[in-house]
Amino acid sequence: MKVAVIGLGNMGIGIAQCIQRAGHNLTVWNRTPAKNKQLESLGAHAATTVRQAVETAEIIITSLMDDASVLDVVKTKDGMLDGMSSGAIHACVTTISPTCADELERVHREHGSIYVSAPVIGRPDAAASGQLVSLLAGPSAALRRLSPVCKAYSESIVDVAEWPRLANVMKLAVNYNVASTIEMISETYIFAEKSGLHLEPLRDFYQMLWFAHPAAKLYADKLLKRDFAGRGGFVMTGGLKDVRLMFSAADECKASLEIGKIVERRLAQGVAAGMGEQDWSSFHEIARQEAGLK
């Protein structure tokens, strides 16, 4: 299939590599052109504008930062709507708000193109190895057309609903569980450390008995080792953005996310302290400081 990937950040680069390896005809675009070179060396075509990238594409995947960046590439001059053909599919893998998904569905419908919400579960290493979980919501015929491309970077595909925003609701719900789990492990480790208990048996409890998912095991180990430096994971600025999206979505349905308030406060403190590019689980360091630990 003719596929365009817009955005080659930590997630987008891995997704694009998987699509290229699967044999699809790939075109890429990134705000920083230097990031195109790795894909070009594998045979992808690098476009100079978003419009050029999408003009012949059947499937366009956006992997960007937030609502504003996605809406910008869609609506801007020489952007997606200026180049997409009628019937082409835009699949957004970015974690965005359900409200943004509604707007994307509307503008594509009016243009004659098709919008599918396609957020993914997994970290950049899972993207690069084709082991993401894709949450898809949109017209059933569009999901059938999109699935062969999603399979290139996903070990599992979940058809959530026909209403695109519901895939974003599900992604925020999943991320809320991850954020809450990090907070719970953080509180438990701090309690144990201040009580004089070694943390390794607790980490083993999480990894062997309590949590089956690799992500929970990963965070139990990261918090134990306090291994948060460098890019390559899910950074704190992204985590803060997602938690605030969770609050916005919860406000719409008059729900309350109490643990999220703790997580947001600590993430905001971490970003303000210059930790924004560390793994988001490093808000454990803020909690340790509040508990009087070094």
Type of residue numbered 126: A
Q: What is the pLDDT of residues 90-99, one digit of tens each?
A: 999 999 999 9
C-alpha closest to that of 97 among 244, 264, 262: 244
Options 37, 75, 151, 171, the catalytic residue: 171
Instruction: Walk me through the domains of the chain, giving residue ranges and CATH numbers.
Output: 2-162 (3.40.50.720), 169-290 (1.10.1040.10)
Query: Is 171 tagged catalytic?
Result: yes
Q: Count Cα atoms within 13 angstroms, Cβ side, for 216.
A: 18
Joined tokens for residue 104: 């994307």
Per DSSP, the residues of 136-162 read: EES-HHHHHHHHHHHHHHEEEEEEEES
The label of the residue with tokens 């993401």 reads 132
The answer for residues whose C-beta is within 8 angstroms of residue 143's C-beta and 6 or more apart is 116, 136, 159
pLDDT at 230: 62
pLDDT at 281: 94
Q: What is the pLDDT of residues 11-46, one digit of tens each?
A: 999 999 999 999 999 999 999 888 888 888 888 999
What's this model's pTM, rounded to 2 decimal places? 0.87
> H or E segment at 92?
strand 89-92
Question: Cα separation of 97 and 124, whole Å?
Answer: 21
What is the chain's alpha carbon radius of gyration, rounded to the nearest angstrom? 20
Question: What DSSP character marks residue 279?
Answer: B
All residue ranges of the chain with pLDDT < 70 are 230-232
pLDDT at 232: 65
Q: Is the alpha carbon torsion for 47, 232, 89, 98 positive or negative?
A: negative
